[in-house]
Amino acid sequence: MQKRKLGNSNLEVSALGLGCMGMSFSYGPAGDKQEMISLLRAAVERGITFFDTAEVYGPFTNEELVGEALSSVRDQVVIATKFGFKLDPNGGPKWIGLDSRPGHIKQVAEGSLKRLKIDAIDLFYQHRVDPDVPIEDVAGAVKDLIQEGKVKHFGLSEAAAKTIRRAHAIQPVTAVQSEYSLWTRGPEAEVLPTLEELGIGFVPYSPLGKGFLTGKMDENTKFESTDFRSNLPRFTPEALKANQALVDLLGNIAQRKKATPAQIALAWLLAQKPWIVPIPGTTKLHRLEENIGAVSLELTPDDLREIESAASKIKVEGARYPEAIERMTGL
């Protein structure tokens, strides 16, 4: 497995990470716990060293799963988790708002450390920017945690370029995580140039378009009510049909390269910048192995130009999220 450094930091991780959310949350019923533990350990055996979770996934159950699965290989892995949501005090499964007050951040860190069975969080992201708390206060709280040895690196998720700059001035930001793929290219305008300038790594989540770019769905695909894609504008039958052109493009190149559409989508991301580390999620071993295959797939400058030229002619239909959630992103 190739390694990459997240920006100018000394944080070195596998070129591909593993997003763990779907193992317990969001994409239908949670996976079988023992199967998911086996999958996480199989990822380590195959060279993946970068694992992504959050307290809100479950809530809590995903961190507990990752903690249990990886405690025996703690010295080989980098574990990223997140703070910033206000959870239902009655223990409900839904978050009820944002909360990045410094006291709350420190409280979340303590809970995450216990659930993950670790002494320090390798990378602690603000999950979403909280409009009610100055980003300087957030960065200051994480700086305190770093000085206490409870956190090693600071990250932001779905933050705008100006926010990233303000945070970075207080506590250097190691990585920014946002949705980025061939069908979600918002970060290219301002975020990626800012990260390059400041020496910050980039971690694309949903690099396979929440499964769409694998070529395994069409307008007839049905989602269970527990699958959050059932509420996303981009996953209506009309949008799925309209966006099929993007999958066809990946499929054509995949055929030529003796690869799969998913591998082309991931290889395209890896080819954008040497400090980009995608974190596709999966609950299946064969998908994990397919994704890992993308790391050794070489896209030539001609391939990349062809993808760029064809993709620029395809208009992606449907918003990423319902409006209320979209408003919480800073892009």
Give the active site residue among 57, 125, 180, 205. 57
Strand partners, 97: 86
**What pLDDT sits at residue 331?**
45
CA-CA distance, 38 to 149, in Å (whole number)?
Answer: 30
**What pLDDT sits at residue 182?**
93
**What pLDDT sits at residue 148?**
98
Per-residue pLDDT 10s for the chain (331 aa) are: 999 999 899 899 999 999 999 999 877 778 899 999 999 999 999 999 999 999 999 999 999 999 999 999 999 999 999 999 999 887 777 788 999 999 999 999 999 999 999 999 999 999 999 999 999 999 999 999 999 999 999 999 999 999 999 999 999 999 999 999 999 999 999 999 999 999 999 999 999 999 999 988 888 998 888 888 988 999 999 999 989 999 999 999 999 999 999 999 999 999 999 999 999 999 999 999 999 999 999 999 999 999 999 999 988 888 888 887 777 665 4
**What pLDDT sits at residue 29?**
79
Helix (H) or strand (E) holding 21: none
Assess whether 57 carries a catalytic annotation.
yes
Domains of the chain and CATH, by start? 3-209+268-297 (3.20.20.100)
Q: Say if residues 268 and 257 touch (Cβ distance below 8 Å).
A: no
Strand partners, 13: 4
Strand partners, 98: 85
**What pLDDT sits at residue 90?**
77
Q: Say if residues 171 and 142 touch (Cβ distance below 8 Å).
A: yes
**What pLDDT sits at residue 250?**
94
The Cβ-side half-sphere exposure at 107, using a 13 Å CA radius, reads 10
CA-CA distance, 185 to 192, in Å (whole number)?
Answer: 10
End-to-end CA distance of the chain: 32
How many CB atoms within 10 Å of residue 253?
A: 21
**What pLDDT sits at residue 291?**
98
